[in-house]
Amino acid sequence: MIEFQAVSGGYPDRKVLREISFSVAKGSLTALIGPNGCGKTTLLRTAARRLSASGGRILLEGRPIEEYGRKEFARTAAFLPQNRSVPGITVRALVSHGRFPYLGFSRRLRAADRAAVRRALEITATGDWAERDLRELSGGERQRVYLAMALAQDTGTILLDEPTAFLDLYRQFELLELLRRLCNEGKAILIVLHDLALALQYSDQLVLLEQGRMAAVGTPEQIVAQGALDRVFRVQTHRAEGGYWFSPAQREGQKGSLEDGGTEKNLD
Amino acid sequence: MRILPRFYIPTLPARSAKGRAAVLLGLALLTLLAVLLSLRFGSQPISASQMLDALRTGDEKSVAYRILRYMRLPRTVAGLVAGGALALAGTLIQAVLNNVMASPNVIGVNAGAGFAAMLAVTLAPSAAALIPAAAFFGALCTALFIYLLAVRAGLSRTTLILAGVAVSSILTAGIDTLTLLYPDDVIGATGFMLGGFSGVTLDAVLSAGPYLAAGALLAALLAVDLNLLQLGEESAASLGLAVGRVRFAAILAAALLAGAAVSFAGLLGFVGLLVPHIARRLIGTDNRWLMPASVLAGGSFVLICDLAARMLFAPFELPVGIVMSLLGGPFFLSLLLRRRKRSGIYD
C-alpha cells in the first residue's frame, strides 16, 4: 500500500503539486484523474522516486519512500512510465528484466526468478509470445508485456501511467479487467487514467486533481454525487446502465446548469 | 532510390542461445583464420616450410624468423587487440548514449586520446610508458564532456553527433598544430592520424595491456546493467538500476579501451562504429552476447583490413586506417540513408 501525506512537489523551477493526501489500500485500485497538466504524472513520478517531494511524505508499506534502498524500493513498488522505448529483444528477455532488483552480483537468473517470470507471463497471457521480438507486437500486446515485466517485479504496489493510451477500446477493457484481477489478488494499484468512464467503472477510489491540488477524493459514486467531475472537466456526467457517459457542459448564460445532476432533459 | 548496395548481413539476429553460441563460434573461427592469415601473409613472401622451420628452430638469424617475430607477430597482436578494444568501446558508447550513430571516433574520443598522447610525447619525449595513461585521460575527458553535453543540455541524438564532430575537429586541429610545431618529436604523425600498425612493437601493446584488461573487465561486469538502459532511463531506474553510476562506469570502460587502442594504433576510424552494428545484426542486442561478438568481429575485421593494406600494393603499404575508412565510409552512408524512424538504438 502507498500513502500520500500532504505531498507537495514538482520540478526545481515549477512547483506542481500542493498538499496531496490520500492512500491506496492493499487490494484496491485508485485512479488519478484530472484535466491535462493537472499534475497526475508528476504525482506518480514523485511516488516512484523519479522526482523528490518538496513537502509532506509518501509512505510505502508504512515506511517513507526515501528510506528504501534502490533495489529494495524496486522490489516493493513497480512503476510503468508512459514513455517507453521498444528495444529489439524477446518478450521473455523484457519480462526477465523485471527480476533485476532481485539479482545478485553475477546478475544471473535463479530458479525463483525464472518461476516469477513464468508466472507473470501466465497471468498476463503473454506466454505464447515469449520468444517473439517486442517490435513485432502490436501496441496492446506490448502494453501487456510491459505489465508482465512489472508483475515479475513481484511488488505489493504498482504505479501505472496511462497504460490504456493508444489502445483500442476492447484492449482497454481487457487491460483494466486484468488490473482488477491483480487487485483481487492483493495488489495496491495506482493508475493515471485519461478516460473518465473507464476510471469510474473500474476503480475503487478516484483522486481528482485540479491544477496540482486535490479537487476531490472518494468512491466513483461519491465523486459523481459531488458534481466534482462536472466542475473540473466542464462536462455533464450522465449515469447510464452499468456505467457513465459525458457531454460538454453548457456555456455560461445558457439555461440548464452544471450542478443539475445530469439527466436526459439537460441535453440540447 | 538506392544508390548504395545493401550489405549482405542477416537482418534477423539469432534469438536462441544455441543460435547465438553458433554465431559466436563462427566469429571465433573467423578470428582464428584472420590471425593465421595475418601471420602467414605479408609483403615479403615466406613459404610455409620456411615458416615452420623458423618456428621450430627459433633461429634469430633467419630472415623468416625475424619477420615473424618482429614484424608480423606484433602487428597481428596489435591489430587483434586494437580492433577488439575499439569495437567494444563503440558498443559501450552506443549503449550509454542510446545512439547508433555514436562511436569513439565519431564523438571525438579517439581524437581526444590522440591529442593527449601526442601532447605527452612532445612534453616528455622519453617517457613512452606515459602514452597509454595520457591517451586514456584524453579519451575519458572527451567522453565525459560529450556525455555531460547530452545530459545537461538535453541534446537530441543528431545534435549530439554534430557536437561530437565539432569536438573531434577541434582536437584534430590540436594534433595538427602539435605536428607542425614539434615535427621532430612526433615523427610518424601521418601514420598516427590515419591509424596503422607499421612499426608497432609488442612492448607498446603490452604497456597498454592493463588499461585494456581493466576496460574489458568493467565492460563485462556492466553487460546486464547496460541491457536495462535499452528500456529507457525511467524504466531502468524504476527497476532499481543506478543509471548515472552505470553510465559513468561504462564511459570509463570505453575510455580505457579506446585510449589504450589509440596509444599504439593511432586514430583508427570506423571500427567502433561499424562493428557493433554488424555484431548487433548477427547476435542481437543482449550485451552479454553482443560484447564478445563485437570484440571478435572487431579483431578479425581489423586484421583482415590490415592484411589487405599490406598486400594490395606490396611492397608499398597503406595505413590500415585508409582501408577501413574505404570500407567504413560507405557503410556509414548507407546507414544514414536507410535509417528508419525507430525509438532506441536497435534498428
Q: What is the CATH number of the domain that holds A227?
A: 3.40.50.300
Cβ of A70 within 8 Å of Cβ of B227? The answer is: no
Most confident of A123-127, A154-158, B99-103, B273-277: A154-158
Cβ of B240 within 8 Å of Cβ of A85? The answer is: no
Quote the mean pLDDT of chain B: 83
Does residue A262 fall inside a structural domain? no
Q: Which of A21-35, B188-202, B291-305, B317-331 has the lowest mean pLDDT?
A: B188-202
Both A172 and A130 in one domain: the answer is no
Identify whether the C-beta of residue A20 lies closer than 8 Å to the C-beta of residue A4: yes
| Per-residue pLDDT tens digits for B232-255 | 888 999 999 998 889 889 989 999
In this structure, which amino acid lies at residue B19?
Answer: G
Both A172 and A192 in one domain: the answer is yes
Element (H, E) at B56: helix B48-57
Q: Count the Cβ atoms, other than its own, within 10 Å of residue A77.
A: 25
Both A148 and A162 in one domain: the answer is no
Q: What is the mean pLDDT of residues B219-236?
A: 91
Q: What is the mean pLDDT of residues A74-97?
A: 90
The closest alpha carbon to B7, from B320, B327, B307, belongs to B327
Q: Count the Cβ atoms, other than its own, within 10 Å of residue B167.
A: 19
Write down the pLDDT at residue B343. 36
**Band of residue B76 on the pLDDT scale cut at 50, 70, 90:** very high
Q: Which residues pair with A4 in a beta bridge?
A: A22, A58
Distance CA B61, CA B314 (A): 24
Q: What is the mean pLDDT of residues B253-267?
A: 89
Does residue A240 fall inside a structural domain? no
Q: Which residue has the higher pLDDT, B213 or B267?
A: B213
Both A220 and A160 in one domain: the answer is yes
Cβ of B240 within 8 Å of Cβ of A71? The answer is: yes
Cβ of B228 within 8 Å of Cβ of A97? The answer is: yes
Distances (CA, A) of B298 to B87, B259, B304: 5, 16, 10
Write down the pLDDT at residue B186. 63
> Chain B closest CA to A61's CA: distance in Å?
17
Q: Say whether pLDDT at B203 is over 90.
A: no
Residues of chain B with Cβ-Cβ distance to A72 below 8 Å are 240
Distance CA B19, CA B213 (A): 28
Does residue A94 fall inside a structural domain? yes
Residue in A with minimal Cα distance to B11: A88
Q: Which residue has the higher pLDDT, B31 or B194?
A: B31
CB contact set of B221 (below 8 Å; sequence gap of 6+): B249
Write down the pLDDT at residue B248. 87
Q: Say whether pLDDT at B10 is over 70.
A: no
Write down the pLDDT at residue A251. 60
Distance CA B196, CA B306 (A): 8
Both A49 and A9 in one domain: the answer is yes
Does residue A36 fall inside a structural domain? yes
Q: Say whether pLDDT at B32 is over 90.
A: yes
Does the beta carbon of A88 lie under 8 angstroms from any beta carbon of chain B?
yes
The closest alpha carbon to B346, from A143, A161, A94, A138, belongs to A94
Distance CA A64, CA A47 (A): 10
In this structure, which amino acid lies at residue A149?
Answer: M
Q: Which of A190-204, A246-260, B249-263, B288-302 has the lowest mean pLDDT?
A: A246-260
Does residue A244 fall inside a structural domain? no
Q: Say whether pLDDT at A266 is over 60.
A: no
Write down the pLDDT at residue A231. 86
Three-class SS state of B133:
helix
Q: Say whether pLDDT at B332 is over 80.
A: no
Last residue of a domain, one of A108, A127, A155: A155
Does residue A216 fall inside a structural domain? yes
Both A101 and A226 in one domain: the answer is no
Last residue of a domain, one of A155, A175, A207: A155
Q: Which residue has the higher pLDDT, A119 or A167?
A: A119
Q: How many A-B residue pairs are in contact by the CB < 8 A criterion?
A: 79
Both A111 and A167 in one domain: the answer is no
Cβ of B344 within 8 Å of Cβ of A88? The answer is: yes
Buried b (16+ CB within 10 A) or exposed e, B173-194: ebbeebbeebeeebeebebbbb
Does residue A122 fall inside a structural domain? yes
Q: What is the interface pTM, i.e. ipTM, of the complex? A: 0.85
Please identify which residue in the block is written with the cell numbers 528508419: B340
Distance in angstroms between the alpha carbons of the first and the last residue of chain B: 20
Q: Say whether pLDDT at B103 is over 50.
A: yes
Identify whether the C-beta of residue A203 lies closer than 8 Å to the C-beta of residue A220: yes
| Per-residue pLDDT tens digits for B122-179 | 887 777 778 888 888 899 999 888 888 877 776 677 777 888 888 999 998 998 888 8
Residues of chain B with Cβ-Cβ distance to A90 below 8 Å are 15
Does the beta carbon of B235 lie under 8 angstroms from any beta carbon of chain A?
yes
Residues of chain B with Cβ-Cβ distance to A100 below 8 Å are 224, 228, 239-241
Both A54 and A169 in one domain: the answer is yes
Distance CA B104, CA B330 (A): 18
Q: Nearest Cβ partner of B231 from A50, A72, A85?
A: A85
Element (H, E) at B261: helix B243-265
Cβ of B234 within 8 Å of Cβ of A88? The answer is: no
Does the beta carbon of A166 lie under 8 angstroms from any beta carbon of chain B?
no
Cβ of B228 within 8 Å of Cβ of A79? The answer is: no
Write down the pLDDT at residue B196. 76
Residues of chain A with Cβ-Cβ distance to B13 below 8 Å are 88
| Per-residue pLDDT tens digits for A101-150 | 999 888 899 999 999 999 999 998 889 988 888 888 888 888 889 999 99
Both A187 and A223 in one domain: the answer is yes
Please identify which residue in the block is written with the cell numbers 520468444: A131
CB contact set of A223 (below 8 Å; sequence gap of 6+): A200, A206, A208, A216, A217, A229
Cβ of B234 within 8 Å of Cβ of A86? The answer is: no
Residues of chain B with Cβ-Cβ distance to A93 below 8 Å are 227, 286
Q: What's the number of domains chain A is made of?
A: 2
Cβ of A50 within 8 Å of Cβ of B344? The answer is: no
Q: Nearest Cβ partner of A85 from B224, B230, B239?
A: B230
Q: Is A248 exposed, middle or buried (0-12, 13-18, 19+ CB in 10 A)?
A: exposed
Both A38 and A99 in one domain: the answer is no
Write down the pLDDT at residue B155. 67
Domain region containing A91: 84-155
The closest alpha carbon to B176, from B122, B262, B115, belongs to B115
Does the beta carbon of A50 lie under 8 angstroms from any beta carbon of chain B?
yes
Does the beta carbon of A103 lie under 8 angstroms from any beta carbon of chain B?
yes
Length in residues, chain B: 347
Both A138 and A175 in one domain: the answer is no
Cβ of B284 within 8 Å of Cβ of A89? The answer is: yes
Mutate to test the interface with B, among A70, A131, A151 (most CBs of B within 10 A): A70
Residue-range domains of chain B with CATH: 17-38+48-336 (1.10.3470.10)
Q: Across the beta sheet with A29-33, what order do the strands follow?
A: A77-80, A157-161, A188-192, A29-33, A205-210, A213-218
Does residue A50 fall inside a structural domain? yes
Q: Which of residues 276-295 of B touch A (CB under 8 A)?
A: 284-286
Both A111 and A228 in one domain: the answer is no
Residues of chain B with Cβ-Cβ distance to A75 below 8 Å are 240
Please identify which residue in the block is written with the cell numbers 561504462: B250
Does the beta carbon of A163 lie under 8 angstroms from any beta carbon of chain B?
no
Q: Say whether pLDDT at A151 is over 70.
A: yes
Q: Say whether pLDDT at B7 is over 70.
A: no
> Chain A closest CA to B210's CA: distance in Å?
23
In this structure, which amino acid lies at residue A26?
Answer: K
Last residue of a domain, one of A119, A137, A155: A155
CA atoms within 13 A on the CB side of A232: 24
Identify whether the C-beta of residue A60 lies closer than 8 Å to the C-beta of residue A2: yes
Write down the pLDDT at residue B347. 39
Cβ of A74 within 8 Å of Cβ of B224? The answer is: no
